[in-house]
Amino acid sequence: MNPINEFLVATLQLLPKPLVKRFAMRYIAGDKLEDAVRAVKTLNGKQMMATLDVLGENITTKKESRMAVGACEEVLHAIHHHRLDANVSLKLTQFGLKIDEEFCYSNVRSLLEMAKGYSTFVRMDMEDSGATSATLKSYERLRSEGFENVGIAIQACLRRSEDDIRRLLPMKANIRLCKGAYIEPEAIAFRDREEIRFNFLKLLKMLLDAGCYVGIATHDAALVEGATEYIRQNHVEKADYEFQMLHGVKIRLRQKIVEEGHRLRVYVPFGEQWYAYSIRRFKENPRLAWTVLRSLFSRN
């Protein structure tokens, strides 16, 4: 992050949380599960699917992990009860990955068992590069144990991702392909925007050609155009992929995707850990920080 952007994010962190929350809630459904259910019902009414995510990562105690498991169980119950067209996203550090990998695995496995009973899909999201290998290991183990209701995310910015995908192709993995939100060293990640775009489309073509189901997760209009063109030229069935976008981001673009007949899923985060998530989003996209500061200035 350049010095100006660092200054912007640092400035936002000095503001009172209630003030930041006014703007952060554009990208977050709310504090409570009922807020998220309401948001998903609205999306479903617009012919959009959803992914529910209970905010929280990098927990430090097993007690916190068990609380996270309980919160996700409530999400699975709610999806079933309200008949939502939605699945669940998990970050493994929320379930104890950095405390005890076996403990984390048992937590995730128990959630998958419950989700399986509800015929609900669960996505293992990808975090910073320090968690990549362990996340892939857990995914492969779950698939080897017969779980078909689980997918994983791959970040196009990481140089290792092509090799990771080649490992996953034989099992026809269900993959959420995204650019990658974490700032990583150049030695392990592409940093140039065009390099990341090129790798994203390269990996997408590999996955589609191999018959893997792909969640094309991007707000980049150039990548959306490149993906739709490849899908059209190669006659990819609409049931074999979906586009994915974040709640509150690029509303017009997501509507255009739906109007053109593509499946689209919106990532709906919620929970009491909204502040940490919001600051990370501002770090990922400093333009959001500019927007918040300009809005504050115009209101004064």
Residue 154's CATH number: 3.20.20.220
Residues 176 and 248 reside in one and the same domain: yes
Query: How many domains does the chain fold into?
Result: 2
Query: Active site includes 125?
Result: yes
Residues 47 and 70 reside in one and the same domain: yes
Catalytic residue among 125, 164, 263, 281: 125
Residue with the larger pLDDT of the pair 288 and 137: 137
pLDDT at 283 over 60: yes
Catalytic residue among 176, 197, 254, 265: 176
pLDDT at 3: 65
Helix H, strand E, coil C: the string for the chain is: CCHHHHHHHHHHHHCCHHHHHHHHCCCCCCCCHHHHHHHHHHHHHCCCEEEEEECCCCCCCHHHHHHHHHHHHHHHHHHHHHCCCEEEEECHHHHCCCCCHHHHHHHHHHHHHHHHHCCCCEEECCCCHHHHHHHHHHHHHHHHCCCCCEEEEEECCECCHHHHHHHHHHHCCCEEEECCCCCCCCCCECCCHHHHHHHHHHHHHHHHHCCCCEEEECCCHHHHHHHHHHHHHCCCCHHHEEEEEECCCCHHHHHHHHHCCCCEEEEEEECCCHHHHHHHHHHHCHHHHHHHHHHHHHHC
Residues 142 and 258 reside in one and the same domain: yes
Indicate the pTM of the whole model.
0.89
- Tens of pLDDT, residue by residue over 204-222, are 999 999 999 999 999 999 9
Look up the domain containing 9 and give its range: 1-28+274-300
Residues 240 and 132 reside in one and the same domain: yes
Residues 8 and 134 reside in one and the same domain: no
- Tens of pLDDT, residue by residue over 139-176, are 999 999 999 999 999 999 999 999 999 999 999 999 99
Query: Active site includes 280?
Result: no
Residues 233 and 291 reside in one and the same domain: no
